[in-house]
Amino acid sequence: MYWLKWAGLPVMVIDGAGRLAKGPALLMILGAAFAVSVVSVSSGAYPLSTADILAVWVGDLDDEVASMVLFDVRLPRLVLGFLVGAVLAVSGAILQGLFRNPLADPGLIGVSAGASLAAIAVIVLGGTWLGGWLDLAGVWALPIAAFFGGSGTVLLAWRIARRAGQTSVATLLLAGIAINAIAGAGTGLLTFYSSDEELRSLTFWTMGSLGHASWDDVAMAAPWLLLSLCAAPFLARPLDAFLLGEQVVGHLGYNTDWTKRAAILIAGLGVGAAVAVSGLIGFVGLVVPHLVRQTLGAGHRIVLPASALAGGTLLVGADCLARVVVAPAELPIGLMMALIGGPFFLLLLLRTRIA
């Protein structure tokens, strides 16, 4: 155990198991989140200094452009980036608990692709075949479709990968390849039949972007994202039991079927809503929960909140990077995450044995 003196009080930093103590660790992530947020609102094609931000914030600086950049461009982007990152990380953590495997990322097993296919179908076929759906659902047509696409795919992957009460990880990942391929073919087909204008918004889905984030996007997606984030902690204890195996969940007094359905619903809802506003962003759900488990332990009461915070921080950070590296243009955030996450996934594969 390792203790630091802070304000005269001993503070445990490393616990008996050699892991970061939970309080200080959460504080550290919060600090990082704050730092990244400040960088995020100040960097970009129109740089704002910290002093400018503070001045605009309290209304001292009467600069219309600065105020517009801050309130209408940077802040909604920050909020959306944080929420999407948090939800993707939490959904990843939930799915990994459910499948009992640290490689079950929403992107890898095809959930994101399913959600994105549904969203793209609404964009392209909204004027023709799916016109009735647009009339019925209005502004919610896209997020709801993405949600059903997402949860449907989780369910599908679940059904395929399970035989006689056991989840086969190899089957799960292979099913993910197949689902991704099928969804990709569907997306390609729709792209083929799309008009120029539709095509432009399609590219945005497949690459993933926070670039067009507006308060309207936030208003559309935030309720679902927040619902998914707020519901997740209720699953913490049954998900802990899932780590010991599906039968143990029942022995410990939880309703196994209910837990499974709730987990699939929450992850599908979260990933669906995230995909609906930001397109395909992979690897957040893989990288973040893994790092959290390694440093803080695998109990979901810490994994879920810490993943949410760290996921938001990572995505906002990656978004900053995406804006800076090729400024004044910007890289799609999905591309950025793939650049970070791909090698990370390989490293994970090399270090762990898949059953």
Partner 1 sequence: MLLHVDGLGVHLSGKPIVRNLGFQLDAGEMLVILGPNGAGKSTLLKGLAGEHKMGAGQVMFVGRALSNWSNRDLARHRAVMPQRVEVNFPLTVEEIVRLGRPPEPLSKSMPVLSELMELLDITHLRHRLAPGLSGGEQQRVQLARVLAQVWSTAGPVLLLLDECTSALDPAHQQQVFSLLRRLAKQRGFGVLAVAHDLNLAARFADRLMLLHQGQSYISGQPSAVLTEAVLAAVYGLSARVLELDEGYPLVIPQDDARVSAYAEPSLSRFAPLNPSCRQAS
Stretch that binds partner 1, among 4-12, 21-29, 148-156, 239-247 (CB under 8 A): 239-247
Does position 101 bind partner 1 by CB under 8 A? yes
DSSP-derived pairing of the beta strands 166-167 and 162-163: antiparallel
Using CB under 8 A as the binding rule, the residues of this chain from 153 to 192 that contact partner 1 are none
Taking alpha carbons only, the member of 224, 276, 266, 225 closest to residue 119 is 276
Does position 349 bind partner 1 by CB under 8 A? no
Q: Tell the smallest beta-carbon distance from residue 344 to partner 1 (Å).
A: 17
What SS3 state is found at 166? strand
Residue 340 structure tokens: 């970070």
H helices of the chain, in order, are 22-42, 50-58, 64-68, 75-99, 111-125, 131-137, 141-161, 169-192, 196-207, 215-231, 236-242, 246-251, 256-278, 284-296, 300-325, 333-351
Using CB under 8 A as the binding rule, the residues of this chain from 295 to 324 that contact partner 1 are 297-299
Q: Which is nearer to partner 1, 52 or 240 (CB)?
A: 240
Among 27, 177, 181, 244, binds partner 1 (CB under 8 A): 244
Please count the residues of the chain. 355
Among 243, 291, 321, 339, binds partner 1 (CB under 8 A): 243
Does position 134 bind partner 1 by CB under 8 A? no
Does position 345 bind partner 1 by CB under 8 A? no
Among 245, 325, 342, 343, binds partner 1 (CB under 8 A): 245
Does position 23 bind partner 1 by CB under 8 A? no
Using alpha carbons only, what angle is made at residue 307 by residues 177 and 338, rounded to the nearest 5 degrees? Answer: 40
Backbone CA torsion sign across 74, 316, 23, 11: negative
Q: Tell the smallest beta-carbon distance from residue 112 to partner 1 (Å).
A: 23
CA distances from 237 to 16, 22, 122, 233, 242 (A): 22, 17, 37, 8, 9
Stretch that binds partner 1, among 5-13, 130-138, 193-201, 234-242 (CB under 8 A): 234-242
Preceding amide of 328 cis, omega within 30: yes
Q: Which is nearer to partner 1, 79 or 310 (CB)?
A: 310
Instruction: Rounding to the nearest 10 degrees, give the CA dihedral for residues 294, 299, 304, 306.
Output: -50
Among 7, 9, 17, 65, binds partner 1 (CB under 8 A): 17
Using CB under 8 A as the binding rule, the residues of this chain from 265 to 294 that contact partner 1 are 293-294
Using CB under 8 A as the binding rule, the residues of this chain from 44 to 83 that contact partner 1 are none
Q: Which is nearer to partner 1, 49 or 247 (CB)?
A: 247
Among 204, 254, 283, 345, binds partner 1 (CB under 8 A): 254
Does position 252 bind partner 1 by CB under 8 A? yes
End-to-end Cα spacing for the chain: 33
Backbone CA torsion sign across 175, 178, 183, 184: positive
Distance CA 25, CA 351 (A): 25
Among 55, 125, 160, 248, binds partner 1 (CB under 8 A): 248
Among 255, 324, 325, 346, binds partner 1 (CB under 8 A): 255
Does position 138 bind partner 1 by CB under 8 A? no
Does position 200 bind partner 1 by CB under 8 A? no
Residues that bind partner 1 (CB under 8 A): 15-18, 100-102, 237, 240-241, 243-245, 247-248, 250-255, 293-294, 297-299, 355
